[in-house]
Amino acid sequence: MHTAPVLHHRTLSSHEEQFLTFRLDGQEYGIAILKVQEIKGWDKITPIPNSPAYMRGVLNLRGVIVPIIDLRLRFGLSEAKRDAFTVIIVVNIGGRLAGIVVDSVSDVINVTAEQHCAAPEYEGQQNREFISGLAQIDDKLLILLDIDRLVYPETLDEVEAAAPIAAMQ
């Protein structure tokens, strides 16, 4: 059973943000902790017909239908075998829940303004719109994601509209 990282209760300065870090294909990513509702172990997903490949389906989370997005597929990476470390990070996007599947959750970290830097721009970078920046943490570079842009509200509308049909099958 995978347990969620322990949140450290210390006062953040006005120049710090907290991020939940996770791994995806060997790379470390981070999303703002304030967007995270909960971390859940891998569970059975109900597929939704005619959805994009990265949209795995929906999950009934205590009576709420939650669309599930596979971040590996969303980023054009190869699909991975699910294991004991695979988790669904449930995020809150404008009052609506969505789940993102990641390889494993790492930690909750504080990122200072000095550690935060803009992602370099270059031609052909497809996933640039999802990246809010980079952070140098010790000896590794962390990719910070903008979860609001990664999970479009329009996508949530489409999946929620199709969810009752899938539940009847």
Domain edges within the chain: 16-168
Please state, in angstroms and rounded to a whole number, the distance separating the CA atoms of residues 71 and 100: 6
pLDDT means per 10 residues, the chain with 169 residues, are 47 75 93 95 89 90 92 88 91 91 93 79 61 86 88 57 48
What is the average pLDDT value for the chain, to the nearest integer? 81
Span 91-111, pLDDT tens digits: 998 888 999 999 999 999 998
SS3 7: coil
**Each residue of 118-146: pLDDT tens digit?**
776 665 555 567 788 898 888 888 999 98
DSSP H helices, the chain, are 71-74, 147-150, 153-168
pLDDT confidence of residue 158: 54
Q: Model pTM greater than 0.85?
A: no
Question: Which residues have C-beta within 8 Å of that of residue 40, sequence separation ≥ 6?
Answer: 61, 87, 88, 89, 90, 99
CATH 3.40.50.2000 applies to domain 16-168: no
Tokens 């390889």 — which residue? 103
Burial of 4 from C-beta contacts in 10 A (0-12 / 13-18 / 19+): middle
